[in-house]
C-alpha cells in the first residue's frame, strides 16, 4: 500500500475538550457492560464496547468480536485487527486517532453471523456511541456489517467505494480485513475504497477549517 498525495487534515487529539465526550462514553460503557439482553451475555468473556479517540472524525465499525477480542475486551486486536491497523496507517491514521467498534459487543459462538435479535438488542449501544462521538465519516467493514447497519441485502460490490448516507452520517464501505486475509487479491480494491473515503474526508475537514476561519475573521 502507498501513502496519500495530500496532507491529512488535523484530527482532534483527546487531550483538549474531550472530557464530556469521553465521560459520556464512559458512562455509556458502565451501563452497557452488564447487558444481558441476549444469550451472548452468557458465553462472553468480555463486553467489547469499542475504543479510541472520543473526538475522532472517523469511526470504524466491524461486525462482532472474535476470540482474541472476547479475551482482551478490545476490538480488532487479532489478525484482522493487525491488518486494519496497517490499512489505517496507510491512510495516515494511527489507531488511537480513530474510534473502533463493532455492531455486536459480545462474541457470537464460533464467530457465526449475528442473529436478528442480537442485532436488535445491540444496535442501540452503537447508535448511542455514534450520537456521542458525532463522526464526520464512518467506515463499515464487510458485507455483514454494512447490510446490518443499512438494513439492506445489497452485495458488497454495489456498496463499496462510494459515499452512502445513513442517518445523516457520511459512510463508506470496504472489505472486512478477515476477507482480505483470505483473499489478498482484494487488497487493491480495498485500497481504492480507502482512497475514495480519504478524499471525501479531506474535503469535509478542509471545508470545516475554512468555515472556522470565516467565523473567526
C-beta of 52 vs 78, nearer to ligand URA: 78
Nearest approach, Cβ of 16 to ligand URA (angstroms)?
A: 29
The minimum distance between CB 73 and ligand URA, in angstroms, equals 11
Nearer to ligand URA, 46 or 195 (CB): 46
Residues in contact with ligand URA by the rule CB under 6 A: 62-66, 69, 75-76, 78, 80-81, 102, 178
92, 4 contact by CB (below 8 A): yes
Give whichever of 149 and 205 is closer to ligand URA, judged by the CB atom: 149
CB of 140 to ligand URA, least distance (A): 10
Q: Closer CB to ligand URA, residue 174 or residue 205?
A: 174
Cβ neighbourhood burial of 33 (10 Å; 0-12, 13-18, 19+) = middle
Radius of gyration over every alpha carbon of the chain, rounded to an integer in angstroms: 17
Of 126, 127, 160, nearest to 142 by C-alpha is 160
Contacts of 83 (CB under 8 A, 6+ apart): 177, 180, 181
Looking up cell 496519500 gives 4
Q: How far is the CB of 78 from ligand URA (least distance, A)?
A: 6
Amino acid at each position: 500500500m502507498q501513502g496519500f498525495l495530500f496532507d491529512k487534515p488535523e484530527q482532534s487529539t483527546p487531550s483538549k475538550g474531550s472530557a464530556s465526550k469521553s465521560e459520556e462514553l464512559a458512562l455509556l460503557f458502565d451501563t452497557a457492560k452488564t447487558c444481558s439482553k441476549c444469550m451472548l451475555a452468557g458465553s462472553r468473556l468480555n463486553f467489547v464496547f469499542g475504543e479510541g479517540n472520543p473526538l475522532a472524525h472517523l469511526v470504524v465499525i466491524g461486525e462482532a468480536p472474535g476470540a482474541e477480542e472476547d479475551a482482551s475486551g478490545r476490538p480488532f486486536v487479532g489478525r484482522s485487527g493487525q491488518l486494519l491497523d496497517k490499512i489505517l496507517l496507510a491512510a495516515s491514521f494511527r489507531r488511537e486517532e480513530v474510534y473502533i467498534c463493532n455492531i455486536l459487543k459480545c462474541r457470537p459462538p464460533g464467530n457465526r453471523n449475528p442473529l436478528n435479535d442480537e442485532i436488535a438488542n445491540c444496535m442501540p449501544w452503537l447508535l448511542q456511541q455514534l450520537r456521542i462521538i458525532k463522526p464526520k465519516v464512518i467506515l463499515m467493514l464487510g458485507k455483514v456489517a454494512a447490510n446490518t447497519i443499512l438494513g439492506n441485502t445489497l452485495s458488497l460490490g454495489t456498496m463499496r467505494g462510494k459515499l452512502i448516507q445513513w442517518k445523516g452520517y457520511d459512510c463508506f464501505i470496504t472489505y472486512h480485513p478477515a476477507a482480505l486475509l483470505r483473499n489478498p487479491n482484494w487488497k487493491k480494491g480495498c485500497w481504492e475504497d480507502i482512497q475514495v473515503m480519504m478524499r471525501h474526508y479531506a474535503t469535509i475537514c478542509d471545508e470545516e477549517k475554512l468555515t472556522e476561519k470565516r467565523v473567526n475573521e
